[in-house]
Structure 1
Amino acid sequence: MTPYDGPSAQDRPPLIDGFGRTVTYLRVSVTDRCDLRCVYCMAEHMSFLPKAEVLTLEELDRIASAFVGLGVRKLRITGGEPLVRKGVMGLFGALSRHLATGALDELTLTTNGTRLAEFAAPLAELGVRRVNVSLDTLKPELFRTLTRGGDLAKVLTGIGAAQAAGLKVKLNAVALKDDNAAELPELIRWAHARGCEVTLIETMPLGEIEADRTDQYLSLGALRRELESFWTLTDIPLSTGGPARYVEVAETGGRLGFITPLSHNFCEACNRVRLTCTGTLHTCLGQEDAADLRAVLRAGGSDQDLIEAIRLAVDGKPKGHDFRIERAARPAVARHMSTTGG
């Protein structure tokens, strides 16, 4: 694909929302499709978008590059599963030019790991330095159940390939009270022994799915207290541009993050927005706000038109989300996490 050279960040005011927060982090979904069907992420029988509604790789590059020109320093490619998107390495190649110029600090991705064995080395060659891999269990049968048919061995092979290619790997695990809560300490030990960080995530009320999230909700505050009964956790002032709060675990020598949208709101320092694969910009994960950037592009809009649409959306970024985990409460938003983009 031919790279789109967006506007330079020089002499352009930064993206600052109505509450004084500077947006420096864009998560870009390249597809709503995935080769797994995780129970907390998707309905079992999903209806996927027709190709005409999905942005082309060139359109994704144009929007992402416009954000880089407006001061965004971190791009994360997400999905669905980003590595199932045909030609996605061309997008990584195009966006890597911003790393070369110094306009971008980091280009990375979140993946389920099933295709990392194939793509890890090419990603490293294009300047990707770390990846987030979703992994909720080390038990093959439970993994198959949670993903509705996934093969744990493929993911573990992918993690090994990523590390062999020189990529740093962070594992993301959704804490599920009835499924993986008892094994989370062992998952953390396993990851830290292999040099991987771990971030634990509370289940979020996104999308209409078959299960009742109330039954699976596990407060990470309670889990931290349990971990502190046998480990020494020390808070560290680390920021990776996301919502996690980090500790060092003395006994394992590794780093552990907590993302707590329900038990501890992290909105006051939110610096990120999300672009869906259809070109919809969401400035808050837990609100129904939306700006249609695809319409701007396909109506023949200029670079300035695109910039103005982005600024208008960011200016209206909500103060915070409305996540609740009450029994019988409807999801905060109807769209699935796989549609929003991680």
Structure 2
Amino acid sequence: MPHIKNALIRYRVIDKALGNKYNPYPNKMDLRQACEMELYGDSSGKHISDSTIEKDLFAMRHEMDAPIKYSKKFKGYFYENPDFTINEKPLSEDDIASIQFALSTLSQFKDTEMFQNFGFALNKIIDRVNVDADARKSETTNIEEYIQFEQSLAIQGNEYLQPLLLAIQNQHVAYFTYESFITQIKKQRKVTPLLLKEYNNRWYLISYDSVKEGVITYALDRISNLEIVEQTGEKPIDFQADRFFKHAIGITASANSRPEKIVFIASNIAGKYIKSQPFHASQQVTEENDLETKFELFALVSEELIRELLSYGGDIQVLQPEGLRNELIKRIQKMNDNYGLKTS
């Protein structure tokens, strides 16, 4: 199994190298070094031979229909179809059969406590595999013409998920470079990873910073040069992930923040959407008629909540708390200014 896994990883590395427009026509040495760096962290040539790369190229051509060609002019390999990638290759019948067997086993446990947090993701995989299988039965070759699944565009940093997960499990220290969204300044960080959390198809690291003496959130797509060291890190004694995010909407949370009672009115149509996709688990309907619906929830006032409320435009009116209401008024006035509108 490790040999098969390593081969699949090499295929992905080769695929990425062949599709790199900024470094075209990689030769066998380039591909070997890229694979060694990915698998072993060095490119000395001790682990992967040129013959292994040749076998990988052969397998990709014949098993994945990869249009790999060799350029005598540039002395390197390339995809004859520049848009090709094995990431978009449809599943084979054997792939589908194997995945369906695994999913049939997992689906028996998806309602248990251990799998409840992953139920949505598991259902999404099951749906996709079933769609591919049905498409093959009906000889449909381009299923994207009929059904499209949501895709994440923020994949940078996802390669850090596994090492960070191991760091959390072992309570090891992580070093990395982090770029601020606001200042674009990169700084070195030393933290103890506590939790990985997904929000809006983007992954975040919740960690303890002993220098700042607090729990800090970092987006994985702004992390670089990650290094995990086998040193036991500091961890807040009272940190519990479910309690830390109990009142959060999105990724914003703090041990020092306090939730507030939030009351708002939504138009009839907007109210139906909000009831079907609640902002927070505490949300409830307190009044309802043919024209509008009144909601209450108990949560942290965060940037994520503000953006959710603003996305409904004039179909929502926040009644309390006053601070949230004033912040929305300020942003709406700024929007008016941006479009040259005057408020009476």
Instruction: Give TM-score, length-normalised by structure 2.
Output: 0.22
- Max Rg structure: 2
Higher helix fraction (1 or 2): 2
Higher relative contact order (CA 8 A, sep 6+): 1
Higher strand fraction (1 or 2): 2
